[in-house]
Each structure stands twice: as structure tokens, then as C-alpha cells.
């Protein structure tokens, strides 16, 4: 099976780091984000990649080449101007339309160890699935008792009652019938699929997941990954 990595964004919230380095090549513990992703998926037998590039595309292509150095095959789909994640995937249709077993798509700014193969366990009446993870609170939580006395402080806990899009998807080729010519898949495609009950949610608990949006996220991810291997 193939995996598509959406790596064309400008990473504006990571500036000035991304003024000269594309976001997928920003390093965490001396390893680029996109290489964390490739090594993770490779452990699950996924060794063919299509990388949707745009901003500073030459640097990504030069860094990864054809993938042989990493034991995988890498091809590229070039987006000359920003047209949204939906269009970025649609641009890869010629390479994926005949994928009998479907394909994976992931945002180029997440690091996780979730098992992507679980996303393929869907019924024939749907055309895709979205990985969900429990919402990590961006703030510390203060717990109080019935008399308003503070009981404890919890630093940025996981909120198990709320689920968020993990940025990892599995699609059958029929997804191309729903992708926009311009726009994001999250805004233009997913609501239509949800309305028609054509997409499923796969919940993941007790896994590592981190979205890299800001410099603070980089620092937190570095601490979380330092000194341990969450991918074994």
C-alpha cells in the first residue's frame, strides 16, 4: 500500500524556522519530521510514498531523493500554488486511482505511533476512515470539590470524552469523486462524506501523538521523545 504525505504548506506558525526550511524538514531530536513519519509507516510494511510538495519543494526533494537511502520508494506530486489539502490529494489521482487496496494520507506535521492498518478495517459501504485521538488539553486543569476547595492540579491532561482528528486517513480510490478542485479536504469533503455516512472513525487510545504547529510544540515533542523509543 502507498501513503501520501501532505507536505506543501508554508508552516507560518513555525517562523522564523520555516523561512528557509520547509516544515517537514524541521528537526526533532536531530531527525526531520517527515523522516519520523516514513520510519513509522515503514514498520507497518508501507514502503511506497507520494509526497505532495509545494513551498520550498526543492529542499524536500533534495533531502529525500527517491527514498532508496531509507529503504523506501518516494515519488513527488508538485503543487505550483497553494490550492488546499483536497486539491493536493486530487493531484495524485493518476498514481492512486487504481490502488485496489486503498491508500493512506497523513498531514506532514504529525508524529505518532498509532497502527495505521487499523484504519483499513472498514465496511464495504464506506470509502474511508479517519484516525481519532483523545483531545490533549492545551492548559492545566484545576479540580475542585463540591465546596469549591481545590483538590488537585493536572498539567495538560488528556480529555477522554473528546476526540480530535489525528490527521491520518485511509481512503479507497472512490474518494477522488469527492475531492474539490480547490480547497481543504477537512472543510469540503469530510462534511459531505459524513452527511452520507460514507466515512468511519477509528479511535486510538494509549498511543503517542503530537501535532507540530509551533515552536512550543517542537520543544514539547523533543522532551517527549528524548531518551525513549515510542515506536518499538
Q: For the chain, which residues make up each domain, given as ranges? A: 2-133+162-225
What pLDDT does residue 230 have? Answer: 65
What pLDDT does residue 231 have? Answer: 63
Segment 100-118 shows an average pLDDT of: 93
Beta bridge partners of 134: 163
Does the pLDDT of residue 145 top 90, yes or no? no
What pLDDT does residue 229 have? Answer: 67
Any catalytic annotation for residue 156? yes
pLDDT digits (tens, 9 = 90+) for 43-62: 999 999 999 998 889 999 99
Segment 178-186 shows an average pLDDT of: 89
Q: Which three cell numbers stand for residue 167?
A: 490527521
141 pLDDT band, cuts 50/70/90, is confident
Model pTM greater than 0.75?
yes
Q: Catalytic one among 156, 182, 196, 223?
A: 156
Angle between helical axes of 33-42 and 57-64 (0-180°, round to 10):
50
What are φ and ψ of residue 133, in 5° steps? -130, 155
Whether 177 and 137 have beta carbons less than 8 Å apart is answered as no
Segment 113-132 shows an average pLDDT of: 94
What pLDDT does residue 42 have? Answer: 95
- CA dist., res. 165 & res. 104, Å (int): 15
Domain 2-133+162-225, CATH homologous superfamily name and number: Spore Coat Polysaccharide Biosynthesis Protein SpsA; Chain A (3.90.550.10)
Amino acid at each position: 500500500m502507498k501513503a501520501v504525505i501532505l507536505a506543501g504548506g508554508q508552516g507560518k506558525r513555525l517562523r522564523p524556522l520555516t523561512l528557509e526550511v520547509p516544515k517537514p524538514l524541521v528537526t526533532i531530536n536531530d531527525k526531520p519530521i517527515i523522516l519520523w513519519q516514513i520510519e513509522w509507516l515503514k514498520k507497518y510494511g508501507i514502503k511506497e510514498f507520494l509526497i505532495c510538495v509545494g513551498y520550498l519543494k526543492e529542499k524536500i526533494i533534495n533531502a529525500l531523493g527517491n527514498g532508496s537511502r531509507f529503504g523506501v520508494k518516494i515519488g513527488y506530486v508538485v503543487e505550483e500554488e497553494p490550492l488546499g489539502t483536497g486539491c493536493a490529494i486530487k493531484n495524485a489521482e493518476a498514481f492512486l486511482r487504481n490502488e485496489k487496496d486503498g491508500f493512506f494520507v497523513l498531514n506532514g506535521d504529525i508524529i505518532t505511533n498509532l497502527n495505521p492498518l487499523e484504519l483499513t478495517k472498514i465496511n464495504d459501504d464506506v470509502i474511508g476512515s479517519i484516525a481519532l485521538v483523545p483531545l490533549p488539553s492545551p492548559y492545566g486543569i484545576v479540580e475542585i470539590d463540591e465546596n469549591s476547595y481545590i483538590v488537585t492540579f493536572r498539567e495538560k491532561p488528556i480529555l477522554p470524552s473528546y476526540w480530535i482528528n489525528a490527521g491520518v486517513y485511509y481512503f479507497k480510490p472512490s474518494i477522488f469523486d469527492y475531492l474539490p478542485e480547490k480547497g481543504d479536504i477537512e472543510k469540503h469533503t469530510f462534511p459531505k462524506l459524513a452527511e452520507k455516512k460514507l466515512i468511519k472513525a477509528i479511535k486510538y487510545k494509549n498511543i503517542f501523538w503530537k501535532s507540530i504547529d509551533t515552536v512550543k510544540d517542537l520543544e514539547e515533542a523533543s522532551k517527549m521523545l528524548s531518551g525513549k523509543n515510542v515506536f518499538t
